Structure 1
Amino acid sequence: MDELFAQHPINHDPYKPHRLDFFAILIINQGKACHHLDFTTYVLRQGDCLVISPGQVHAFDLQSTYKGHLLLFTEAFLLKYVAQSACAKIAQLYKCPLSLSFFSLPESSKLVTTINEVLIDTEKFAQTDIIGAHLSIYLLKLVRLNQTQALVYRDGSNYELFNRFNQQVTQYFHQSRNAKDYALELAVSYKHLNEICKQFTQKTAKAFIDDVVVLEAQRQLSSTTNSIKEIAFACGFDEPTNFLKYFKKHTGKTPADFRAKYP
């Protein structure tokens, strides 16, 4: 982290909300860090880590004093250097809305030390594969720590349906905000989809869809210079006025008021 901030300014301001298209894990070695992730502030201390997934918006805290590491990797790296069975489990960390972002795992620092040792080793044969193996073990431990796994494994068939619903909404929310459309696509009744969604999120399918849309709007408002009209269209609204009413209904603020918090 010291090296990262020594490079500031980089190609963006790390203290302002910015969006990632790769994975990052913030690992704290010493001190206390406040870190902002998708409009929630997490307080991390020695041995804690924060998993940041592609598409999320995060920002470092200017007032925090700490030492640590930021581990960066891509999905392409996971698919190439991590076993397929492990990838399926690791995906629960970043593709499931039930997953946690914050973990306390004292051996996090050991992972960074191990990777650095592999990188400086004069023996380069299978170097990346070895790094991938260590990263795989670490990520699987995070999956095991995820408190929501009790829910996930309580009813595998229901969870599988909920996971498919989540993936559909994430991919197509800009085309439809109607829960009945997703029920039809998943070949289940609207009532059953609602029951499954309530089982895992305590929300109706429609409320879940609204949460996804609002979060995406907030991410764009805080991390891009796109106009509110452009963001409205990107979120599936034909008329910006409808987007304004929708956003205010769910957040209590207009898009302009929300954006003003992130100059």
Structure 2
Amino acid sequence: MKQGMNGQIPDVSYRVPCERRAGIEVLDLSSFYQKLTQCRFDPGKPHRLSYYCFVYITAGSGRHFVDFESCAIGPGSLVRINKNQTHAFDLSTRPQGFMINITEEYMVRIGGHLGKALFNLSSASQGYPSVLHLDKCMQQTCGSLLNEILRSQQRPQFDPLPSVLLFASLLASVSELWLRDDSDAGVQRQNRFNQFQHLVEANVGQFRDTERYAALMHMSYKSLNLLCRTCCGQTAKQVVDGFWVLEIKRRLVADKRSIQAISDELGFDDVSYFAKYFKRQTQLTPAQYRARFCL
């Protein structure tokens, strides 16, 4: 993994450790912990990924940090970190298990085998939990598939297809636990909701007007609200505010410039309204949040 800097939060890009792994890297967490001194950044502090990552816990417990939310983890926990999300490991407890790093190209490749459920799972962020807690049966399935992927990658005559199919099987097994409705109509709704999320994410720092988003989606404001409520239980405004607040959090933590400068850059009329907006969403002022999460 290579490091780039965005303020003080490292941007971590995928590095292929071996050509034959073809876009997927399955690591035993114990091996990962042993190599911490070789990292060019601190995995125990927030870092943003340019690829997809899953962390599966088999033993121990602790917390995993995903986009400024601290999530409880233990045996059977499966953590999902999507491309461009920020996360951090709990290095104080060091739970055991697996880390699976996947390139975007590999996700596309798997999509040919898994189809619509994979697209929804890899795109979902708002309204879906970052951590699943698997039951005993699913834990056995997940552990068996990950061990088999490891074995397939270690064979002298490596064929990438088995790992593609094995990982597709793993995601197929867990995707229905993340996604609420896999009917054709449900998938169409989810695809539209994902389009909305991508549109909002691309325009954070530009505008927050939900009616404008509805127009860009060629929908009425009422229809967009209904779509959001159906897919994630939130209004369109709550979804937009969620992305904006997350971006503000990132900048407060990563950017050492003044709160006034961040407010101006994000297009708020004045810093006092900026502070009120942020506190209404988080119950903390920007200064309080920066002090709490200062790296």
Asked if Structure 1 and Structure 2 have the same fold, meaning a TM-score greater than 0.5 normalized by the shorter chain, the answer is yes
User: Which of residues 52, 61, 68 is equivalent to 2:97?
Assistant: 68
* Residue number in structure 1 paired with 2:229: 198
2:34 paired with 1:2 = no
Counting only pairs closer than 5 Å after superposition, residues 23-34 of structure 1 correspond to structure 2 as 23-34=52-63
* Residue number in structure 2 paired with 1:134: 166
2:198 paired with 1:149 = no
* Residue number in structure 2 paired with 1:188: 219
* Residue number in structure 1 paired with 2:277: 246
Tell whether the 8 Å contact from 1:25 to 1:51 is kept in structure 2 after alignment: yes
Tell whether the 8 Å contact from 2:51 to 2:82 is kept in structure 1 after alignment: yes
SS in 2 for 1:150: coil
Tell whether the 8 Å contact from 1:14 to 1:60 is kept in structure 2 after alignment: yes
- 5+ long unaligned stretches in structure 2: 1-28
Q: Which amino acid aligns with 1:102?
A: V
2:139 paired with 1:110 = no
SS in 2 for 1:69: strand
Deviations 1:203-253 (A, max 9, x none): 33222211111012223333x245345644664547555533422332222
Could you say if the C-alpha distance between residues 203 and 43 of structure 1 is closer, same or farther in structure 2, counting changes exceeding 3 Å? closer
SS in 2 for 1:12: coil
**1:25: Cα distance to partner?**
1.0
User: Which of residues 148, 154, 160 is equivalent to 1:120?
Assistant: 154
Could you say if the C-alpha distance between residues 175 and 14 of structure 1 is closer, same or farther in structure 2, counting changes exceeding 3 Å? same
**1:73: Cα distance to partner?**
1.0
Q: How many residues align?
A: 258
Q: Could you say what the CA RMSD is over the residues aligned between the two structures, in angstroms? A: 2.6
Counterpart CA distance in 2 for 1:99 and 1:252 is 22
SS in 2 for 1:149: coil
Counterpart CA distance in 2 for 1:115 and 1:36 is 26
Counterpart CA distance in 1 for 2:183 and 2:70 is 26
2:123 paired with 1:95 = yes
Could you say if the C-alpha distance between residues 119 and 25 of structure 1 is closer, same or farther in structure 2, counting changes exceeding 3 Å? same
Deviations 1:117-147 (A, max 9, x none): 11221112xx22321221111112121222x
Tell whether the 8 Å contact from 1:111 to 1:135 is kept in structure 2 after alignment: yes
- 5+ long unaligned stretches in structure 1: none
Tell whether the 8 Å contact from 1:27 to 1:49 is kept in structure 2 after alignment: yes
Tell whether the 8 Å contact from 2:62 to 2:90 is kept in structure 1 after alignment: yes
TM-score (norm 1): 0.85
Tell whether the 8 Å contact from 1:36 to 1:59 is kept in structure 2 after alignment: yes
**1:26: Cα distance to partner?**
0.9
2:199 paired with 1:168 = yes
